[in-house]
Amino acid sequence: MQAKSARESRAIKAAMVLTPDANHHGTMFGGKVMAYIDDIAALSATRHARMPVVTASTDSVDFLHPVQIGQSVCLEAFVTWTHKTSIEVFVKVVAEDLLSGERNVCATAFLTFVAVDGDGRPQPVPPVRPETELEQFLHDGGASRAESRRTRRDLSKQLASRFGTTPLWQR
C-alpha cells in the first residue's frame, strides 16, 4: 500500500461550550471532551484508511486546563503512526476565550483505531508518511507507544479474567 501523508488525515472540530456541556464548576464535562476527542479521532482515522474504523484504545487523556462556559473548544487530529490494521491518532484540544482571544491547550490524547470490513474483521491500512518536524517526532514514538498499549491491554485482560462478570459487591 502506498503511504499517505499525515496532512491528508487532518481533521478539525470546533464548538461553543454552553451550559448543558458543563458541570457545577462552570467547566466543560471531562466526558464531553472525551466524546469530542473520540469523534474527531475516528474521523481522522477513517480519512486515512478510507474504510470503517473502531476505537481500540484511548491512551490517557491529560486535562491540562479547564474549559469555561462561553469559551470555544477546537480539536485538531491527525494520524501519527500505523501498523498493519491499526491507526494511531493524536488529538490536541484548545480552549479559546472568544472575547479576549486567550487560548490554552486544555487536553491531549492518543487513540488507536482498527480498520474493519463489513463483517468487523481487521483490514490492512496504508502507512503514514510524516512531513513536518512535529509529525516526525510523533511518528518516531509510535512503536514504543504501541508496545506500552500492548502491555496495558495484557494487564487489562488479566484483571478482567480475575474479576470476571460478578459484581464486586457480591464477592
pLDDT tens digits along 105-129: 999 999 999 999 999 999 999 999 9
Closest by CA to 11, choosing from 107, 104, 90, is 90
Angle at 57 between CA 56 and CA 62, to 5 degrees: 155
39 in helix, strand or coil? helix
Q: Please provide the average confidence, as pLDDT, over all residues in the chain.
A: 96
- Cα–Cα dist 129/74, whole Å: 25
pLDDT tens string 12-48: 999 999 999 999 999 999 999 999 999 999 999 999 9
Using CA atoms, how far residue 123 sits from 1, 54, 82, 106, 113, in Å, is 12, 11, 12, 34, 11
Where along the chain do its domains lie?
A: 4-162
Burial (Cβ within 10 Å: 0-12, 13-18, ≥19) of residue 15: middle
* Residue 115: strand pairing partners: 53
Top-level class of domain 4-162: alpha beta
**Positive or negative, the Cα torsion across 130, 112, 38, 45?**
positive
The pLDDT of residue 162 is above 90? no
124 in helix, strand or coil? coil
